[in-house]
Chain A
Amino acid sequence: GESVGLHLPTLSVQEGDNSIINCAYSNSASDYFIWYKQESGKGPQFIIDIRSNMDKRQGQRVTVLLNKTVKHLSLQIAATQPGDSAVYFCAENRGTGFQKLVFGTGTRLLVSP
């Protein structure tokens, strides 16, 4: 069936490096994607979203890239900090007229000093 998935379960980086977390989706009709960060013991925290009429969107230290041709999106974190250590999920809102987030499996980002 149609799915949203992440490429790597774990990504380890050094503090100060740039991190790239990838996500693939299979539904070509998908047009709204969200990245969430989940720290241990907490609920998912909204990071950034992107709509299909955009290829790139930037936030504070984060950039999301959307490649509709290959159905791939990525989250780039600049100058990764220990506080960025968490599980990152890409999600697609499939509800038309209602809310229904479909989440990927998540990538755990480990930042070492």
Chain B
Amino acid sequence: KAGVTQTPRYLIKTRGQQVTLSCSPISGHRSVSWYQQTPGQGLQFLFEYFSETQRNKGNFPGRFSGRQFSNSRSEMNVSTLELGDSALYLCASSLVPGYQETQYFGPGTRLLVL
């Protein structure tokens, strides 16, 4: 069974631009979560989607948004990019949203904002 896939793997943008990242969960998984990883802040929860609905959001500004499609694929968008948005963005999927469901991570999208 294929793992979580994320595209693109690498991205370079300039300040003020916007970016859309894509995540395809493991087949059959319906819950998708997004995390940001930086050297300074570590791994931080962004948001979680299930049944095309955002169920919870972490402590990030409104410039960070996402959505989930009927096939469980998810996208996240960052508008008006700032230098501090440079990070590895990770997507994780699980069968269902239950808090004891194991999450499996994709390889991440590395975003560099210049």
A residues with CB within 8 A of B: 32, 34, 36, 41-46, 49, 51, 89, 91, 93-106
B100 pairs with A43, CB closer than 8 A: no
Q: Which partner residue on chain B sits nearest A34 by CB separation? A: B102
B90 pairs with A97, CB closer than 8 A: no
Given known pairs A34-B102, A44-B105, A49-B102, the reply for A101 and B42 (CB within 8 Å) is: no
B residues with CB within 8 A of A: 4, 31, 33, 35, 42-45, 48, 50, 55-56, 58, 90, 92, 94, 97-108
Residue from A44, A93, A99 whose CB has the most chain B CB atoms within 10 Å: A99
A100 pairs with B45, CB closer than 8 A: yes
Q: Kindly list chain A residues whose C-beta atoms are within 8 Å of the C-beta of B48.
A: 95, 98-100
Q: List 24 A-B contacts (CB under 8 A).
A: A34-B102, A34-B103, A36-B105, A41-B107, A42-B107, A43-B92, A44-B105, A46-B102, A46-B103, A91-B43, A93-B100, A94-B99, A95-B48, A96-B99, A97-B55, A98-B99, A99-B31, A99-B99, A99-B101, A100-B45, A101-B33, A103-B43, A103-B44, A106-B42
